[in-house]
């Protein structure tokens, strides 16, 4: 009897080992502890294997038990992309895909408890067992912290420091440039909290110095060249500060591995203001007409479209429609923009280019708008009036 028990145990252990190994047989149905049934049709055991945390690309056809198809990636001519094991898909997928390799195809028969359960989703009734024929098109492994052993750590102001992991080429990034970055963010214990690499995303785009990212990025990326990889060590005052921001706890020092993918210098139109008179309005706004036209003059409540560059008095740019490759459209004298710009628009004609110098009381006031506009900031707006739509007067 003991021999029989031992022999039976060996069979169970061997079966468990087979389920976890790459020795799964083709066209053979297996059943996991969760109740997932899976049958492998195509098998590439020497190819890259799917693991939890991978970003994968999967083609699939989903059907109910009666063979009614409820979804197919082939209809969209695009595989589904997602990260495995983080709850982006139903549990049956997260489990079943870890048995497959790049290029493998399989059938998953997924019971309701690891599918959508008691919920009805679209064409899927509640408590449905689902069938998926899946094919793993590609696998992207999660990136790991870069090796910086033996490389010099360079310190900047405010305790910000960096290490050049790989050198780039060309011009160095400067404040005001549009940059495209790939990155991974880590806590000081090397736990990863975000990564554009792992998410399979396009490079992250930002204009340096516009306060659209943490200060450590705005400062730490300056000087990078295209292709350069750099590790940034960012103290919490230059990251998310005293309060933090989910998933970043308060007072968290951060580490970023960043790669500069592309760099673009932004050139703003230059207004011809030399020798032009500066006009002071009764409300305190000053303006200089750089380009004069005979176009229609703006009236209250007209809807205008403008291209603009917003600057501080020292010439530093804080915002520009050109940054977004777009124009700004708003109703004049309706409180849609700062008061100084509302007042100034009433002096413009279509096609004109005008510089407005706006006192802080008609801009963002005593408090400003941190972190972009400091308190009591007088501002400059170079405005190009592209078009206007006349207000309709009803009697």
Phi first, then psi, for residue 96 (nearest 5°) are -60, -35
Catalytic site residue 358?
Answer: no
Q: Of residues 38, 60, 108, 183, which has the active-site annotation?
A: 183
Report whether 310 contacts 318 (CB < 8 A).
yes
Catalytic site residue 240?
Answer: yes
Q: Of residues 57, 240, 318, 381, which has the active-site annotation?
A: 240
Interatomic CA distance for residues 205 and 173, integer angstroms: 13
Q: What torsion, rounded to 10 degrees, do the Cα atoms 71, 77, 83, 85 define?
A: 30
Q: Of residues 30, 193, 204, 312, which has the active-site annotation?
A: 193
Considering the segment(s) 19-140 as one domain, its CATH architecture is Roll (3.10)
Q: How high is the pLDDT of residue 197?
A: 85
Q: How high is the pLDDT of residue 325?
A: 87
Fold of 279-389: Chitinase A; domain 3 (3.10.50)
Same CATH topology for 19-140 and 153-264: the answer is: yes
Q: Of residues 132, 162, 256, 287, which has the active-site annotation?
A: 256
Considering the segment(s) 153-264 as one domain, its CATH architecture is Roll (3.10)
Q: What torsion, rounded to 10 degrees, do the Cα atoms 322, 324, 327, 328 define?
A: -110
Q: Of residues 51, 71, 138, 194, which has the active-site annotation?
A: 194
The enclosing H or E element of 110 equals strand 105-110
Q: Of residues 40, 164, 207, 214, which has the active-site annotation?
A: 214
Count of H-run helices and E-run strands, the chain: 4, 21
Q: How high is the pLDDT of residue 18?
A: 40
Q: How high is the pLDDT of residue 86?
A: 84
Q: How far is CA 233 from CA 215, 220, 259, 365, in A?
A: 12, 9, 14, 35
Domain residue ranges in the chain: 19-140, 153-264, 279-389
Q: How high is the pLDDT of residue 394?
A: 56
Supply 177's token pair.
Answer: 């440039």
Report whether 171 contacts 179 (CB < 8 A).
no
Q: How far is CA 33 from CA 16, 181, 297, in A?
A: 10, 43, 75
Catalytic site residue 108?
Answer: no
The residue written with tokens 């590790």 in the block is 231
Catalytic site residue 194?
Answer: yes
Nearest to 146 by CA among 222, 221, 204, 231: 231
Catalytic site residue 256?
Answer: yes
The rounded average pLDDT for each run of 10 residues, N- to C-terminus, in the chain (395 residues) is 39 38 81 96 94 93 96 96 91 96 97 96 95 96 93 91 97 95 96 84 90 95 98 97 94 98 93 95 97 94 96 94 93 96 96 98 95 95 95 59
């Amino acid at each position: 009897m003991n021999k029989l028990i031992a022999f039976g145990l060996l069979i169970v252990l061997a079966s468990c080992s087979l389920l976890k190994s790459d020795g799964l047989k083709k066209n053979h149905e297996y059943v996991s502890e969760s109740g997932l049934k899976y049958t492998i049709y195509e098998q590439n055991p020497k190819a890259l294997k799917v693991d939890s945390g991978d970003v994968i690309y999967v083609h699939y056809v989903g059907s109910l038990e009666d063979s009614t198809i409820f979804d197919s990636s082939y209809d969209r001519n695009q595989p589904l992309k997602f990260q495995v094991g983080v709850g982006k898909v139903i549990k049956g997928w997260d489990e079943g895909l870890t048995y497959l390799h790049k290029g493998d195809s399989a059938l998953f028969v997924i019971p309701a408890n690891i599918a959508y359960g008691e919920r009805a989703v679209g064409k899927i009734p509640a408590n449905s067992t689902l069938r998926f024929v899946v094919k793993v098109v590609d696998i992207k492994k999660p990136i790991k912290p870069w090796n910086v052993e033996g490389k010099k750590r360079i310190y900047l102001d405010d305790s910000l420091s960096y290490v050049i992991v790989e050198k780039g080429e060309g011009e160095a990034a400067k404040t005001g440039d549009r940059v495209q970055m790939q990155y991974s963010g880590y806590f000081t214990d090397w736990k990863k909290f975000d990564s554009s690499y792992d998410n399979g995303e396009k490079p992250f785009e930002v204009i340096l110095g516009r306060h659209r990212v943490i200060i450590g990025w705005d400062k730490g990326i300056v000087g990078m060249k295209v292709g350069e990889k750099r590790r940034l060590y960012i103290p919490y005052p230059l990251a998310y500060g005293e309060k933090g921001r989910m998933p970043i706890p308060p007072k968290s020092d951060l580490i970023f591995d960043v790669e500069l993918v592309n760099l673009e210098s932004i050139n703003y139109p230059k207004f011809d203001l030399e020798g032009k008179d500066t006009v002071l309005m009764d409300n305190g706004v000053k303006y200089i007409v750089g380009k004069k036209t005979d176009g229609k003059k703006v009236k209250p409540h007209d809807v205008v479209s403008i291209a603009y560059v917003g600057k501080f008095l020292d010439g530093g740019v804080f915002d520009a429609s050109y940054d977004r490759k777009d124009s700004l459209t708003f109703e004049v004298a309706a409180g849609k923009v700062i008061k100084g710009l509302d007042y100034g628009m009433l002096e413009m004609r279509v096609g004109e280019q005008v510089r407005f110098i706006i006192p802080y009381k008609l801009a963002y006031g005593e408090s400003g708008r941190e972190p972009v506009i400091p308190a009591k900031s007088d501002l400059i707006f170079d405005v190009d009036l592209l078009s206007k739509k006349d207000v309709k007067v009803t009697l």
